[in-house]
Amino acid sequence: MSSIDRRDIYKRKQLGDKLLAILKISQKINAERDLTSLLNLIAEEATKLMEADRASIFLLDREKFELWSIVTLDSEPIRFDARLGLAGAAALTGQTINVEEAYQDSRFYKEIDECTGYCTRSLLAVPLRKNEGEIIGTFQILNKKSGAFNKDDEEILEVLAEQVAIAIETAHVVEELKRHRGQLLEENSQLWKEVKGKFSAQNIIGTSTLIQNVVRLIEQISDSSVDVLITGESGTGKELAAKAIHYNSSRSHSPFVALNSAALPENLVESELFGIEKGVATGVEGRIGKFEAANGGTLFLDEIGDLSLLAQAKILRVLQERLIERVGGRKAVPVDVRIIAATNKDLEEEIKKGNLREDLYYRLKVIHIEMPPLREIPEDIPILANHLLDKYCREMKKDPKKLSAGAVRCLMNYPWPGNVRQLENELKRIVVLTPREAITEEDLPETMKKISTEMVDSKLRPVRSLKETVEEVERRMIEEALQTCKQNQLQAAKALGLSRSGLIKKMKRYEIKFKLRPSN
Ligand SMILES: Nc1ncnc2c1ncn2[C@@H]1O[C@H](COP(=O)(O)OP(=O)(O)OP(=O)(O)O)[C@@H](O)[C@H]1O
Ligand SMILES: [Mg+2]
């Protein structure tokens, strides 16, 4: 074998050894998670692999146009003008720089040696590039033990520089994600506090015994998972109570899902409640139903008195078995849902009429909360009205307003067929329309003042019962509202704080005929 062949074999073996060493470094790199330890490791391995004395990794600070060291094996961290020195030249030109005698190169920045007390001879610097090509710094290696750095060293340092750049970029992304996550967690806990505050039992305003009993009951049952039935006229705070129960319970971090039973058509009962499996019919997308959506949390069945008999049967089954089956699904899915049902109907009456299953009624009525109508708790009207007035002034960015004693008296004497919702609407209107700070009787609608006076008079006259008086007042209010709103039922219902169906029911009860709207 000639001496040339022997040299060739030796060179190949050397290259093979180096590739093996790079592979080993790669394995270590993949195992290391901490950025500083990782960069130190790469610098140390590079020094060993290329038989050099020192290695440094510099990052480019684009704002100040400086290089600063994040790794300096055996020396102090440094920061210097990126336009100076060979490391700077590599970062600015994007070229690998290989110098045998640094002091003979005019670009060499001697002050760093003077400052660190080190004596640089040979130097190899390669730029650090992000994936998309942007230069973020330099990987530099100093003083090869024997002679100058060669072409193999250049290639090895370039490969390692790629690893360094990837590690730095990944670390930045991870840092950014952590910061984002921290911000989101902070925001989430802030919103959470707001939601909890907004729906706490303390937000059910009222010092009357009836309201305080409701608040106490809600606090007592919050931590259990018993089903609850909430009854009460329209606008008395049934949904407010349901949310207070949910957000005060251990289920509060899971969803509160509301289902308006009156708006549930017979043919959609199953898919709405239990969901539908994908591809049941051509083009059908799969989706989950209300029970699954509320899993772990609370399902609020609003207007339960309007639930079809088919839906009642389906719901009863789930309440008994705690399992649901999606439309077109083959297996039963367990669900853990607390049911809170609400209605403004007299459910016992609905059972008699055959509209409500008795077994469902008793199943839901484990705990029964009755929201009192506002006319039964007039002592709460001052605190409620002042609370709502403050709230709307704040929301609409108006100066605070005060209700005069006369206005409060008038509000207390009025029978409020639309309950707290109607009181809310009235106060919103006042906040929008009244520029003055003091709200007097004069700022209240004519009908309200008249009816309030009549209520006082009728209370003094014991000939009619309170129920009769209230009914008479309600009938007249509905007639007046319909007249004012030119027979537009939706507008009249809104003005009275009722739903349209609520208004129609009352019209039937009082035999108020629907007059055709005058044509234009
Ligand atoms: N005691 C109360 N304290 C403070 N706000 C109340 C109270 N009762 C009701 N409200 C407010 O009145 C409005 C109507 O309440 P909610 O929607 O809960 O009534 P509801 O009984 O569900 O009415 P409906 O039968 O028409 O659905 C809401 O804005 C609610 O916040
Ligand atoms: Mg409601």
Beta strands in 279-374 (DSSP E): 287-288, 298-302, 323-324, 333-334, 338-343, 367-370
* Torsion from C-alpha of 231, 232, 236, 239, nearest 10 degrees: 20
Q: Which CATH architecture has domain 199-372?
A: 3-Layer(aba) Sandwich (3.40)
**Amino acid at position 482, single letter:** L
Three-point CA angle 338, 342, 344, nearest 5°: 175
Q: Is 439 helix (H, G, I), strand (E, B) or coil?
A: strand
Q: Is residue 420 within 6 Å of ligand 1 at its C-beta?
A: yes
**Amino acid at position 44, single letter:** E
Ligand at minimal distance from the CA of 238 is: 1
Residue nearest ligand 1's atom 25 by CA: 234
Ligand at minimal distance from the CA of 239 is: 1
Confidence of residue 519 (pLDDT cuts 50, 70, 90): very low
pLDDT score, position 28:
77
Least confident of 63-72, 185-194, 453-462: 453-462
| Cβ 378 vs Cβ 412: under 8 Å | yes
Between CA 238 and CA 230 the distance in angstroms is 6
Average pLDDT (354-370) is: 94
Confidence of residue 262 (pLDDT cuts 50, 70, 90): confident
Residue nearest ligand 1's atom 10 by CA: 237
Q: Which atom of ligand 1 is nearest to the CA of 498?
A: 26
* Residue of 236, 256, 347, 496 best suited for mutating to test ligand 1, as the one with most atoms within 8 Å of CB: 236
Average pLDDT (381-402) is: 95
* Torsion from C-alpha of 140, 143, 149, 153, nearest 10 degrees: -50
Using a cut of 0.75, tell me whether the model's pTM lies above it. no
Residue nearest ligand 1's atom 9 by CA: 237
Question: Which CATH number is 375-509 given?
Answer: 1.10.8.60
Confidence of residue 398 (pLDDT cuts 50, 70, 90): very high
CA atoms within 13 A on the CB side of 239: 13
Which residue from 410, 444, 446 is spatially nearest to 427, judged by alpha carbons? 444
| Cβ 150 vs Cβ 122: under 8 Å | no
Ligand at minimal distance from the CA of 235 is: 1
Given phi > 0 = left and psi -120 to 50 = alpha, else beta, which region is 93? alpha
β-strand partners of 249: none
Beta strands in 2-89 (DSSP E): 54-61, 66-72, 79-81
Q: What residues are neighbours of ligand 2 (ion), with CB under 5 Å?
A: 239
| Cβ 204 vs Cβ 241: under 8 Å | yes
Class of 3-175 in CATH: alpha beta
Token match 């370039």: residue? Answer: 158
Q: Please report, for the chain, the start and end positions of each structural domain, with discontinuous segments joined by +.
A: 3-175, 199-372, 375-509
Cα-to-centroid distance, 302 and ligand 1 (Å): 13
Q: Is residue 497 within 6 Å of ligand 1 at its C-beta?
A: no
